[in-house]
Amino acid sequence: MSAATGVAVSFLAGCADQPVQRTVRTPAPVTVSVTPHPARTVVHAFHRYDAGQTADFHAQKGVALRLLVGRPHVSTTRLSPAYGQPPVHGYYLTFHLAVTNTGSRPVDLSPGDFVVRMPRQGRVSSYDGNSPYSGAGRQLDATELEPGDAVHAPLTFDVRGRHGRFDYRPDRRTAVAWSF
């Protein structure tokens, strides 16, 4: 046995009664730094419904309405077989409205109180595009609803898409909205 081997054997023999320690290397924890982004919180000052649902709207003392906005009927052609123009923006959406004055005071109602909000188009009134020339029959007219009175009428919009939001805006601010 060589001298080096003898030293190694005696060294190992002397360590035999010592516990063996093993070093396990664990990788350092990976720290991902996330840059905080602001959260977007949307608060609406009005109630939102799905088209086809009824909304009870209470404004001020004595002024209350029950509004039902049906799901829109969609057309890509004029709305009369005999006359009218096709939609300029691609679609006519016709909503059937039922509005009842459930309050104790008269309420004025007109087509200008309603708009649709469309992606990539914004706010659209029933006077925009070819809506007035659609060939639709009777549409909602300006009227005064006495307490207990109701009106049932369609309202047509010339729009670019089939999905959006229908708004009731009696004072140029949305009071109630329906998604469609």
Identify the pLDDT of residue 53: 97
Q: How far is the C-alpha of 76 from the C-alpha of 55, rounded, in Å?
A: 29
Residue 178 lies in a domain: yes
Residue 29 lies in a domain: no
Residue 66 lies in a domain: yes
Identify the pLDDT of residue 112: 97
Identify the pLDDT of residue 45: 82
Residue 10 lies in a domain: no
The domain that holds 180 is classified in CATH as 2.60.40.1240
Q: For 97-144, how does the pLDDT look when each residue is reduced to its tens digit (9 = 90+)?
A: 999 999 999 999 999 999 999 999 999 999 999 999 999 989 999 999
Q: Tell me the two tokens of residue 62.
A: 């004595």
What average pLDDT score do residues 64-91 get?
A: 96
Identify the pLDDT of residue 20: 59
Residue 141 lies in a domain: yes
Burial 42-64 (b: 16+ CB within 10 A, else e): eeeeeeebeeeeebebeeeeebb
Q: How far is the C-alpha of 151 from the C-alpha of 98, rounded, in Å?
A: 6
Residue 127 lies in a domain: yes
**Strands 122-124, 176-179: parallel, antiparallel or unpaired by DSSP?**
unpaired
Residues in a beta bridge with 154:
96
Q: How far apart, in Å, do the first and last CA atoms of the chain sit?
A: 93
Burial 17-32 (b: 16+ CB within 10 A, else e): eeeeeeeeeeeeeeee
Residue 64 lies in a domain: yes
What average pLDDT score do residues 66-78 get?
A: 97
**How many domains is the chain built from?**
1
What average pLDDT score do residues 145-153 get?
A: 98
Residue 137 lies in a domain: yes
> Is the per-residue pLDDT at 14 higher than 60?
no
> Is the per-residue pLDDT at 163 higher than 50?
yes
What average pLDDT score do residues 59-84 get?
A: 96
Higher pLDDT, residue 67 or 30: 67
> Is the per-residue pLDDT at 7 higher than 50?
no
> Is the per-residue pLDDT at 13 higher than 60?
no
Contact (Cβ atoms closer than 8 angstroms) between residue 84 and residue 78: yes
Q: For 19-52, how does the pLDDT look when each residue is reduced to its tens digit (9 = 90+)?
A: 656 666 767 776 666 676 666 655 568 999 999 9
HSE-CB of 173 using CA atoms within 13 angstroms: 6
Q: For 84-94, how does the pLDDT look when each residue is reduced to its tens digit (9 = 90+)?
A: 999 999 999 99
- The pTM of the full predicted model, rounded to 2 decimals, is 0.74
Dihedral sign computed on CA atoms, order 152, 156, 157, 161: positive
Higher pLDDT, residue 81 or 7: 81
> Is the per-residue pLDDT at 15 higher than 90?
no
